[in-house]
Every structure is written in C-alpha cells, then in structure tokens.
C-alpha cells in the first residue's frame, strides 16, 4: 500500500492528490507512482551486493511505456513472453543482452524476432521446442543463445499460492519436466545453431514465504551442477514470484528472496555465476491504484451495495483468483464506516470487489489499492467498456496521462467488421 493522506485528509499517491487526478483524467483510471517503482528496482539490485546479476522485469505485470522505461533507466532488463512484449522492451531501450524470453508456445514469427534481436536467452520450455528454435536460427543463418526452463515439480502444498498462479508443479504446462531434462539437454547440445547459456525456472507468483522459491532454486542449481562440466553456463535464472502485502500480510521483501538465492548458489558451488531474477508484481503492484467513481448506492434489506464505474474488465484479479484488494475513499473520511459490498457495472455476479468497511456517506471516489500489477495488462473491453485511462506521477507531479478511449471508438471498431 503506497497511498497516504495529506494534511487535508485527501488520499495521495506519489505526492499527488488522487481527487485531482480524477478531475484531470476521469475514471476509471490507473494511477502509478514511477518514483516508487524506480526505488524498488534499486532495492532488488542492492540485494545482489555487487554480484553479477540481471533483474529482468516481467513486463506482463505492467507494460506501460513510462513504467518499462523507468525500470530500464534503473538498469533492469526484461522478461518477456510474447513478440509484442519483446518489441516493447527493445523499443523502451532495453538492450537485447538484458532480455530473456519464456513462453510455452512461441510462434515461428516470435522466434524469428528473438533470433534477429540476439537476446540474452530464448528460454526453451519443452524437448520438442528445441528443434523449432534451431530451425529458426538456421533460417536466419544465426546462432542463438538458449536456456532450458526446468519445471522443478515442487508440490502444490509447498507452493502455497493460488492454484491459478502456481507454475512449478508437475501438472503445469510450463518448463521441461525433471525426468525429461537429460533429453532436452542432449537435444540442445546436438544442434550446432544453439548455444546453451543458462538454466531457468519460474515456480509461481505471490509467494509470501521464501521457502517455495528456495526449494525451486536449489533444484535448479543441482541440475546445473550435474551438467556444468559439459556446458559452460553463463546464467542461472530463478524466475519471479516475490509476493506483496495485499492486506493479509507479507513478512518478506524481494531483497530477502535475492539474499536466500545467493546463499543457495554459493552452497551449490556457483559463486560468481550470474543470477537472473524475473520480478513483476513486486516492482509495480503496491505503487498503483485503480481510481473509480461511485455511480449508484443501493440498500436492499440488510445489504449495502456500492456500485462503482470500475469493473472486472478493468481489474479481473478478484473475479479470476478470488483476490482481495483494499478499497478506500479518496475524499477525507467524514462519517462512521459501515460494511459495503463494492461491485462494478459488468453484467456478471463475479464483478465483485468484496465487502469493505467504508464511510456511510460523504465520498464519491474510491481507490482500489495495490492494483499496479496485472491490472491494466489484463483489462478487456467486455460489455463494450473502454479500457481505463492511465496516469503516471513522479516527484509530486503528474508526469504523463494516457487518456481513456472514447466509448464511441469501441462502437466504431465493432461495426467496422463486415462493413462494405
Ligand atoms: N517470469 C515468468 C516466466 C512468469 O510467468 C511470471 C509471471 C513472472 C516471471 C513474474 O512473476 P511475478 O514476479 O509477477 O509474480 N495474473 C496473475 C499473476 C500471473 C503471473 C504469471 N507469470 C495475478 O494477477 O496474480
């Protein structure tokens, strides 16, 4: 939670009063504090203590140009999962040797882009993908640097995160199974176009304990030790997943994960080896809010509904993962709080942000907190709703505004198909 209240009691993010942002850009609007995002990159970087490392920001968490450029300016690279994300990272000025590319089903066109850009590592996710990557390298008459993404097969109970965002267990589509690793390794070595430079894993997201991350890292380092004499690896990538406090607590910081992994690396005998991590959520979630206006209040029987102009199309996390985000009034709270069910306008019962204690009256704007990650990037135009605006604040000022599209733009776009 990165918001506070100013002397007048108004909700503030990054030194800017959110009611002023609403007056400027309307609602629903995502607001992000770029200065805080930058500080987060510096904190993770410092935790490496001068060791060779790459903080590869997982662009999928928040792909807004100002955000990607801000993390890049602090020295971060990028973890991308599609051709457009790769093009975005390059366009934001991230050098190719600081970009890693994961994905279970990269198309030939996407692989061609990665081969042409000569990125740090195409992270191969199956034995079968090896031949496809080699074929694209041959077509371009290039050698390509690859890493093997390993599925560390940590059991779901140890992972202890929402099943929808756990990736490193044996029923997940991601990575090469431990039992197939030998085959993937030999397949890569057999292709003269492929240069094996690393091993990688990503075990899941929103870990509020270090244990699952360290268990996965240990398995990765054990595999690296088995093959190190046959392939000179240049990096080991332990993925993203550092959790944040959505209000239920998170006793560990990103730096704690990094320090734990460094210790594991040293124990495995890889001191000096470049470590890569792929944080997404932890760099942006707490530094963004979704600003929304109250449209309708409704009291029916015992229930008090607060109907706002942001819906599941703008922020799908509650509907998709039963996630809870704190919701607070933007204006100074001026009445006793009562339980209210905050819901959006979308015609689905799951368009429900949950019950919150909010002042009985006296506010027209709310901020949905910790919405800087997987908010805008997962938004859709469902129900004919324009994608929300985005406002970027820095040093107590609004730095950029990306306005919301006009509702008529959606109507025009839908009607355009099939028109003579
Ligand atoms: N690396 C890879 C290969 C990934 O698949 C992901 C996230 C990350 C890094 C970054 O993980 P993070 O540090 O953000 O936990 N939409 C979900 C989260 C999905 C995460 C997908 N992969 C949510 O809103 O909770």
163-211 pLDDT tens trace: 777 777 777 899 999 999 999 999 999 999 999 999 999 999 999 999 9
- Tens-digit pLDDT profile for residues 30-59: 999 999 999 999 999 999 999 999 999 999
Burial of 175 (0-12, 13-18, 19+ CB in 10 A): buried
Residues 113 and 14 reside in one and the same domain: no
Ligand 1 atom nearest to CA at 283: 13
In a domain, 45, yes or no: no
Final residue belonging to a domain, choices 232, 250, 279: 279
Ligand 1 atom nearest to CA at 378: 16
In a domain, 391, yes or no: yes
pTM of the model: 0.97
The pLDDT tens digits along the chain (420 residues) read 699 999 999 999 999 999 999 999 999 999 999 999 999 999 999 999 999 999 999 999 999 999 999 999 999 999 999 999 999 999 999 999 999 999 999 999 999 999 999 999 999 999 999 999 999 999 999 999 999 999 988 877 776 777 777 777 777 899 999 999 999 999 999 999 999 999 999 999 999 999 999 999 999 999 999 999 999 999 999 999 999 999 999 999 999 999 999 999 999 999 989 999 999 999 999 999 999 999 999 999 999 999 999 999 999 999 999 999 999 999 999 999 999 999 999 999 999 999 999 999 999 999 999 999 999 999 999 999 999 999 999 999 999 999 999 999 999 999 999 887
Residues 182 and 271 reside in one and the same domain: yes
Residues framing ligand 1 (Cβ under 6 A): 58, 61, 79, 102, 165, 202, 205-206, 239-242, 278-282, 317, 321, 374
Q: Looking at the annotation, which residues are catalytic?
A: 347
CA of 370 to the centre of ligand 1 (A): 15
Cα separation values, 347 from 326, 350, 352, Å: 22, 9, 11
Token pair, residue 11, equals: 């909700």
Q: What values do phi and psi take at 134, rounded to 5?
A: -60, -40
Pocket test for ligand 1, best of 103, 205, 288, 372 (most atoms within 8 A of CB): 205
Atom 8 of ligand 1 has which residue's CA nearest to it? 240
State how far the Cα of 159 lies from the Cα of 212, in Å rounded to an integer.
Answer: 5
Q: Which domain holds residue 245?
A: 95-279
Q: Identify the CATH number of the domain in which residue 321 sits.
A: 2.40.37.10
Residues 307 and 202 reside in one and the same domain: no
**Is residue 288 within 8 Å of 31, Cβ to Cβ?**
yes
User: What is the β-pairing status of strands 29-33 and 16-17?
Assistant: unpaired
Q: CA torsion angle for 287, 290, 294, 298 (degrees, to 10)?
A: -100
In Å, how far from its chain's centre is CA 415? 33
CA of 140 to the centre of ligand 1 (A): 31
User: What is the β-pairing status of strands 121-124 and 99-101?
Assistant: parallel
CB atoms within 10 A of CB 52: 12
CA of 358 to the centre of ligand 1 (A): 31
């Amino acid at each position: 939670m990165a918001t506070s209240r100013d002397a007048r009691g108004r909700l503030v993010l990054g030194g800017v009063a959110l009611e002023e942002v609403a007056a400027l850009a309307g609602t629903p609007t995502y607001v992000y504090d770029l200065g805080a995002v930058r500080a987060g990159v510096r904190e993770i970087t410092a935790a490496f203590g001068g060791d060779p490392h790459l903080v590869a920001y997982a662009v999928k968490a928040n792909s807004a140009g100002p955000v990607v450029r801000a993390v890049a300016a602090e020295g971060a690279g990028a973890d991308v999962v599609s051709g457009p994300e790769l093009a975005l990272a390059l366009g934001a000025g991230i050098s190719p040797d600081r970009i890693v590319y994961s994905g279970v089903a990269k198309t030939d066109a996407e692989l061609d882009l990665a081969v042409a850009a000569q990125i740090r590592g195409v992270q191969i996710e199956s034995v079968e993908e090896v031949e496809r990557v080699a074929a694209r390298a041959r077509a371009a008459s290039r050698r390509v640097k690859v890493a093997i993404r390993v599925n560390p097969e940590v059991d779901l109970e140890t992972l202890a995160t929402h099943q929808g965002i756990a990736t490193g267990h044996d029923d997940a589509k991601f990575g090469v199974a431990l039992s197939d690793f030998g085959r993937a390794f030999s397949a890569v070595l057999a292709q003269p176009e492929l240069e094996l430079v690393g091993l990688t894993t990503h075990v899941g997201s929103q870990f509020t304990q270090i244990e699952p991350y360290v268990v996965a890292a240990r398995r990765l380092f054990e595999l690296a030790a088995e093959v190190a004499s046959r392939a000179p690896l240049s990096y080991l990538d332990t993925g993203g997943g550092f959790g944040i406090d959505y209000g239920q607590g998170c006793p560990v910081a990103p730096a704690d994960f990094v320090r734990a992994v460094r210790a594991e690396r040293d124990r495995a005998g890889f001191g000096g080896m470049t470590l890569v991590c792929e944080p997404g959520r932890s760099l942006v979630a707490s530094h963004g809010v979704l600003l929304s206006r109250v449209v309708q209040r409704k009291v029916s029987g015992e229930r008090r509904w607060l109907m706002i102009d942001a819906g599941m199309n703008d922020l799908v996390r509650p509907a998709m993962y039963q996630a809870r985000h704190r919701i607070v009034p933007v204006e100074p709270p001026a009445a006793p709080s009562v339980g209210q069910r905050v819901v959006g306008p979308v015609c689905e019962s799951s368009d429900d942000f949950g019950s919150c204690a909010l002042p009985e009256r006296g506010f027209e704007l709310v901020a949905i907190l910790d919405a800087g990650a997987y908010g805008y990037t997962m938004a859709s135009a469902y129900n004919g709703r324009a994608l929300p605006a985005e406002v970027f604040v820095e040093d107590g000022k609004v730095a950029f505004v990306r306005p919301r599209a006009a509702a008529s733009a959606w109507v025009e776009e839908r009607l355009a198909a099939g028109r003579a």
